[in-house]
Amino acid sequence: MHISPFGPRQEPRQPLSSRPTSSKRRRRLTLASVGALVLSLGLAACGGDDEAEDGKTTLTVATFNEFGYEGLIDEYMKLNPDIKVVQKKLGTWEEHRDNLYTKLAAGSGLSDIEAIEGDGMPAILEEKGAFLDLSDDAVEGRWLDWKVKAGTNADGELIGYGTDIGPEGICYRADLFKKAGLPTDREEVAALFADWDTYFETGKDFVKKMPDTAWYDSSKGTSQAMINQLAYPFEDEDNKVVATSNPEVREVFDTVTSMQSAGLATNLDQWSPDWVAAFQNDGFATMACPGWMLGIIEGNAAGVKGWDIADAFPGGGGNWGGSFLTVPTMGEHQEEAKKLAEWLTAPEQQVKAFDAKFTFPSQVGAQEDPVLLKATQPFFNDAPVGQILSNRAAAVELQPYKGPKYADIITAFQAAILRVDQGQESPDEAWDSFTSDVERIG
């Protein structure tokens, strides 16, 4: 296509005498058709299915971020020699979700097992018939009640097997606390994080002494933590959108934006390259810290000494994230996939995943596992992370209701707060544009 057809010199037309004779022409024709045949065979080979090689059934598992499944997949393949498991990992849930919906719409291409982030689950539950009902006697009573409820659709079908949950503590930089004259010991620090008021007031003292370091990592993370403590943040039980009329949401918005103007926030977009770089530049001193975040902090802050985690969370407890495994009905090996999902989410396996990446189990049995309770983490000053996260999970009193529009609304909510962070809009303007964004979402 990109051959430029504009050469000024034209080839002289071939004289008739040198035209190929008919026998030559025939040979060319044969060559051409052989070529076409080879090409079409090649294309057919590309579309071939994945079962043929050495008679094994290949199962694909699509995940994002860190599920800690690498070791488990090897183990499963050893236990089941006739099954080959391939994990497809994407960096973030957003990328994974975009990919998932594209393939769901196309009606093909999904993996045999698709991981779904908790906040995205309500929208997935709306897709009737697209995912297998995984109800099974074998998994009765395996998970926390609210986790099962979040994975069950309106018809009572269990669509997702719970993997992890995200009980939150507060991670903090003990070295920076020391410089600011704050206590550094885990137990003493916990008192500073007892409720949001104390947390923010301590933050104001901190930034007075340490003007180059913010108190928390991003308005996005803090607002997400606060939203996760509301019963019906954006939608009521009939899925009617109440985001802009709910006074509690407005309160979160006002609190976070006023703390921003008090200089507590970094004003960085969470997950942006700048946010990642801030870990290496003493950008902030604390952050809301669900179990799965520990691995991310350890990666981003590699080489930084002083991180610790307190057994406390403002406003009691809070859960941020945690995922499910689902089996799309377009898959060819749904039975085998269900078996694998069942195995991966069994308590014994989830404890191993926790050991690998601190994904805190949603399984009742795993939460009491002695291996988990004894787990410590050198990077966080040898904190007993297993015990702390277990306490944090017990402190979670309330699970926010999340309807099908939740993910879209919280994206708009956080964009509004980011606009204030970036100085593009005043808090009132940002709230107004959030209101019209919510109307647009419908």
Partner 1 sequence: MTSQPTTAPAGEVSSSTSPAGPAPAREPLPRETPPRLTLRQRLSRWDVRFSPYLYVSPFFILFLVVGMFPLAYTAYVSVHEWGLIGGKGEYVGLDNYRAIFEDRYFWRAMRNTVSIFLLSSIPQVIIALGVAGLLDTQLRGRTFWRMSVLIPFVVAPAAATLIFGNLFGDRYGLINGGLGLIGIDPIAWHVDTLPSHIAIASMVNWRWTGYNALILLAAMQAVPRDLYESAALDGAGKVRQFLSVTIPMIRPTMIFVVITSTIGGLQIFTEARLFDNVGLGGSDRQWQTVTLYLWELGWRLRDLGMASAVAWLLFLFIVIFALVNLAVSARLGAGGRK
Least distance CB 39 / partner 1 (angstroms): 13
In whole angstroms, how close is the CB of 378 to partner 1 at the nearest point?
A: 27
Q: In sequence order, what E strands does 184-327 have?
A: 214-216, 284-290, 307-310, 323-326
Site string for partner 1, 277-306 (x = CB under 8 A): xx--x-------------------------
Amino acid at 38: V
Q: Does 21 bind partner 1 (CB under 8 A)?
A: no
When binding is defined by CB under 8 A, the residue of 51, 98, 201, 348 that contacts partner 1 is 98
116, 63, 346, 321: CA torsion to nearest 10: -50
Q: Which is nearer to partner 1, 220 or 338 (CB)?
A: 220
- ∠ Cα 193 407 126 (to 5°): 130
User: CB 1 → partner 1: shortest distance, Å?
Assistant: 8
Q: Which is nearer to partner 1, 340 or 417 (CB)?
A: 417
407: which 2 tokens?
């993910």
Nearer to partner 1, 94 or 248 (CB): 94
Q: Is 9 in the site for partner 1 (CB under 8 A)?
A: yes
Smaller CB separation from partner 1, 6 or 141:
6
Residue 92 interacts with partner 1 (CB under 8 A): yes or no: yes
Please choose, from the candidates 291, 276, 301, the residue with its C-alpha nearest in 3D space to the C-alpha of residue 366. 291
What pairs with residue 171 in β-bridges? 287, 309
Q: Is 417 exposed, middle or buried (0-12, 13-18, 19+ CB in 10 A)?
A: buried
Kindly report the CA angle at 427 between 426 and 430, in degrees rounded to 5? Answer: 85
For residues 145 and 439, which CB has a smaller minimum distance to partner 1 in the complex? 439
Interatomic CA distance for residues 253 and 255, integer angstroms:
6
CB of 151 to partner 1, least distance (A): 19
In the β-sheet with 113-117, what is the strand arrangement from edge to edge? 83-90, 57-64, 113-117, 323-326, 161-162
Judged by CB under 8 A, the residue of 15, 55, 273, 378 near partner 1 is 273
Residue 4 near partner 1 by CB under 8 A = yes
- Stretches 140-148, 265-273, 305-313, 332-340: which one binds partner 1 (CB under 8 A)? 265-273
Handedness of CA 427, 429, 435, 440 (dihedral sign): negative
Residue 342 CA to residue 158 CA, distance in Å, equals: 12
Shortest Cβ 95–partner 1 spacing (Å):
8
Tell me which of 130, 190, 230, 304 binds partner 1, using CB under 8 A.
Answer: 130
Q: Is 108 in the site for partner 1 (CB under 8 A)?
A: no
Write down the least CB distance from residue 82 to partner 1, Å.
34
Distance CA 219, CA 110 (A): 34
Binder of partner 1 out of 41, 52, 79, 105 (CB under 8 A): 105
Measured distance CA(249)–CA(227) in Å, rounded: 7
Based on the shown chain and the rule CB under 8 A, indicate whether residue 415 belongs to the binding site for partner 1. Answer: yes
What distance in Å separates the CA atoms of residue 314 and residue 221, rounded to the nearest whole number? 13
- Helices in 21-63 by DSSP H: which ranges? 22-46
Q: Which is nearer to partner 1, 261 or 376 (CB)?
A: 261
E-state strands within 19-131: 57-64, 83-90, 113-117
Q: Nearer to partner 1 by C-beta: 37 or 373?
A: 37
435 binds partner 1 (CB under 8 A): no
Structure tokens at 373: 């309770």
**Per CB under 8 A, does 423 bind partner 1?**
yes
Using CB under 8 A as the binding rule, whether residue 5 contacts partner 1 is answered as yes
What is the size of the binding site for partner 1 (CB under 8 A)?
42
Question: Measured from the CB of residue 111, what is the shortest distance to partner 1 in angstroms?
Answer: 17
Compare residues 2 and 78 and give the one whose CB is closer to partner 1.
Answer: 2
Q: Which two three-digit tokens encode residue 316? A: 């009691």
Q: Are 194 and 202 in contact (CB under 8 A)?
A: no
Q: Is 90 in the site for partner 1 (CB under 8 A)?
A: no
Query: Is the Cβ of residue 336 or residue 437 nearer to partner 1 in the bound state?
Result: 437
| H helices, E strands: number in the chain | 19, 11
Cβ(324)–Cβ(402) under 8 Å?
no
Residue 345 in tokens: 């989410």
User: Rule CB under 8 A: is residue 274 a binding residue for partner 1?
Assistant: yes
Q: Which residues does 421 contact at the CB level (< 8 Å), separation at least 6?
A: 219, 260, 265, 267, 268
Instruction: Pick between residue 266 and residue 367 the one whose CB is nearest to partner 1.
Output: 266
426 in contact with partner 1 (CB under 8 A):
no
Note the residues at the interface with partner 1 (CB under 8 A).
1-2, 4-9, 13, 92, 94, 98, 101-102, 104-105, 127, 130, 268-269, 271-274, 277-278, 281, 408, 411, 415-416, 418-419, 422-425, 433, 436, 440-442
